[in-house]
Amino acid sequence: MRRAFRQQSSVPLFVSLLLSGALAAGCSVQAQEERPVFDTIPQPPDVQLGPLFTAVQAANLYPDQKTFADAVPKSDPELILSDWQMQKMQRNFDLKRFVATNFSMPATGDVYTSPKGQSLRAHINGLWPVLTRSDKVDNQWGSLLPLPNPYVVPGGRFREVYYWDSYFTMLGLAESGRWERVQDMVDNFAYQLDTYGHIPNGNRSYYLSRSQPPFFSMMVDLLAQHGGDKIYGQYRPQLEKEYRYWMTGVDDEALRPGSATQRVVKLRDGTILNRYWDDRDVPRTESWREDTITARQAAGPDRAQLYRDLRAGAASGWDFSSRWFDKPDDLSTIRTTQILPADLNALMFHLEKTLARAYKTENNAAASQRFEQLAERRKTAIGHYLWDEKQGWYADYDWQRSHVRPQLTAAALFPLYLQAATGERATRTASAVKKHLLAEGGLLTTTVTSGQQWDAPNGWAPLQWVAVVGLNHYGQEPLAKEIGLRFLNSVQTTYEKDHKLVEKYVVKGVSLTHGGEYPLQDGFGWTNAVTLKLMDLYCPKGTICNNVGDLNSKKEP
């Protein structure tokens, strides 16, 4: 059942990194009196159903553990739990029949069949309404968190909105002229910030304990392209709430140099950077069985830390990748919370820059300057800690062992994408990317083939877009175009063969496997969006390219 609880924030005043000056300069402190207070926030199913949830997931009744996490109780969960505790003692008790009687299973994914001969562009435009959801009824016992406006889901098993996916989906909606839906989705995320104090991983109760890569400031940027600079002031309160969430605990006295609290790490010299985190340290609700199996395989005794790191890996969006592991082929060696990611901190730099811009539009020069200073401090920290001078690329930093991690990943391009890189380092990073990550089908996620989905040989649409935009920012247009066109060819080839766009692509070699905890999903929101953006970016001016082949067949007038 939905139990009332009150969220307490641990953030005193604002952020102490220059905070006393920022507050004096006029930064809003109204959120000090506006802590999110909820009366009907649902518990996640594993808490709500307790031992019944564990029994169902351990029995592996469904091929996908997310199925039962998304199931809706037909009556009060406390009554269902009580009935189960009595009935399970009976000789002929059938758990699967009990679940079918007491829960409504989630609907299977929407099926969209392209008319014969339909172009890639037409297929994508036809999918937007298919992937759109609207929460008309709030079921008081289900895990879905209703949102006030319609939204676009990724597709397949992903029946809810996801935070970082949505930014890339919005790019496609905007490219299609669907600005009303972009507005709806930005407002939904603003609603979540106002309601929960942060944007959860997705709009499910079991996602409330974590967020995802903080793209809200990028969403505001996108909407401002259509609505003008007034958009920054309109969403400035929510931008502040996003910032407070990620910086929670930064001014706690207990945060000593060389320590961390939640999403904040204070390095030994006092530098502040961010990490991924989840407030819970138990198996993921939606992947309960997989996590318990991983825990049994782990060498160390600290299962709570392992579960936290698995959850933090999910918060990163890269679930999972050798990027987070001590041993590239061993998921049980995951150490996400001990790593300061290059992509996350580049996004935090952008959030600080966006807050500076928002205050500037409100003619609050002093507050704007303070956030500019925070952004410059972070840019300096990125250059110092998240750069591998020996190898010549941006990289993650192991803050507990005090060294940069040696692996090259597509996350190296985020400082270019968010313009936190220097020109010289952007050039060196581009050279490394061309040498190690450029494959025949686009940009590899990493150089490691581990069996995890965020590793080689896979390429993901959002990372292709990050690469193209980031490289273009620093005069690396030929490499950017090569990546973009190679990925488009991968998309077109798969579309012509299977008549669908998918979550991720094998961009190196020929393989029937994509890795990961679940089968390959189609739909697919961010792939549709990035494909549209790349087609329009490289289509000859004055023409409309309906398929990738049109990029070469139509000449610029």
For 38-79, write each residue's pLDDT tens digit.
Answer: 456 779 999 999 999 999 999 999 999 999 999 999 999 999
What's the mean per-residue pLDDT of the chain?
Answer: 91
- Cis before 457 (ω within 30): yes
| Residue 456, helix vs strand vs coil | strand
pLDDT of residue 513: 45
Distances (CA, A) of 411 to 313, 329, 444, 445, 489: 14, 19, 11, 8, 23
Q: How far is 333 from 354, CA to CA, in rounded Å?
A: 36
- The reply to whether 503 belongs to the active site is yes
Is residue 128 marked as binding? no
Is residue 317 marked as binding? yes
pLDDT of residue 138: 60
- What mean pLDDT do residues 284-299 have? 97
Q: How far is 421 from 429, CA to CA, in rounded Å?
A: 10
Is residue 212 marked as binding? yes
pLDDT surpassing 70 at residue 32: no
pLDDT of residue 3: 40
pLDDT of residue 116: 85
- Cis before 14 (ω within 30): no
Helix (H) or strand (E) holding 104, with range, is strand 103-104
Q: Is the dihedral of CA 413, 250, 191, 29 positive or negative?
A: negative
**Residue with more model confidence, 86 or 510:** 86
pLDDT surpassing 90 at residue 31: no
Q: How far is 222 from 220, CA to CA, in rounded Å?
A: 5
Nearest by Cα to 289 from 470, 117, 25, 69: 69
pLDDT of residue 108: 76
Q: Which residue among 46, 160, 503, 522 is the active-site one?
A: 503
pLDDT digits (tens, 9 = 90+) for 356-385: 999 999 999 999 999 999 999 999 999 999
Is residue 370 marked as binding? no
E strands, 151-263, where? 151-152, 259-261
pLDDT of residue 1: 40
pLDDT of residue 519: 54
Window from 3-12, 35-44, 80-89, 277-286 with minimum mean pLDDT: 3-12
Cβ pair 263, 25 in contact under 8 A: no
pLDDT band at residue 307, thresholds of 50, 70 and 90? very high
Is residue 268 marked as binding? no
Window from 4-18, 85-99, 209-223 with minimum mean pLDDT: 4-18
Distances (CA, A) of 341 to 209, 223, 337, 346: 19, 27, 10, 9
- DSSP characters for 422-438? -HHHHHHHHHHHHHHTE
Is residue 164 marked as binding? yes
pLDDT of residue 169: 97
Window from 23-27, 197-201, 207-211, 345-349 with minimum mean pLDDT: 23-27
Cβ pair 545, 491 in contact under 8 A: no
Is residue 165 marked as binding? yes
Helices (H), 274-364: 288-297, 303-315, 342-361
Distances (CA, A) of 93 to 84, 88, 378: 9, 6, 59
Is residue 291 marked as binding? no
pLDDT band at residue 524, thresholds of 50, 70 and 90? confident
Cβ pair 489, 441 in contact under 8 A: yes
pLDDT of residue 107: 85
**Residue with more model confidence, 207 or 19:** 207
pLDDT of residue 510: 59
pLDDT surpassing 80 at residue 280: yes
The neighbouring-strand residues paired with 266 are 259, 272
pLDDT surpassing 60 at residue 398: yes
pLDDT surpassing 80 at residue 34: no
Q: Which residue among 160, 319, 343, 396 is the active-site one?
A: 319
pLDDT band at residue 103, thresholds of 50, 70 and 90? very high
pLDDT surpassing 90 at residue 515: no
Is residue 210 marked as binding? yes
pLDDT surpassing 60 at residue 484: yes
Neighbours of 391 (CB within 10 A): 16
pLDDT surpassing 50 at residue 37: no
**Residue with more model confidence, 12 or 348:** 348
pLDDT digits (tens, 9 = 90+) for 150-199: 999 998 888 999 999 999 999 999 999 999 999 999 999 999 999 999 99
Taking each helix axis as running N to C, give the angle between helix 342-361 and helix 365-385, from 0 to 180 degrees, rounded to the nearest 10. 170
Could you give the percent of the chain with pLDDT greater than 90?
A: 84
pLDDT of residue 17: 45
pLDDT digits (tens, 9 = 90+) for 542-554: 999 999 999 986 4
Could you give the percent of the chain with pLDDT greater than 70?
A: 88
Cβ pair 156, 503 in contact under 8 A: yes
- The reply to whether 286 belongs to the active site is no
pLDDT of residue 516: 58
What pTM did the predictor assign? 0.93
Q: How far is 183 from 26, CA to CA, in rounded Å?
A: 28
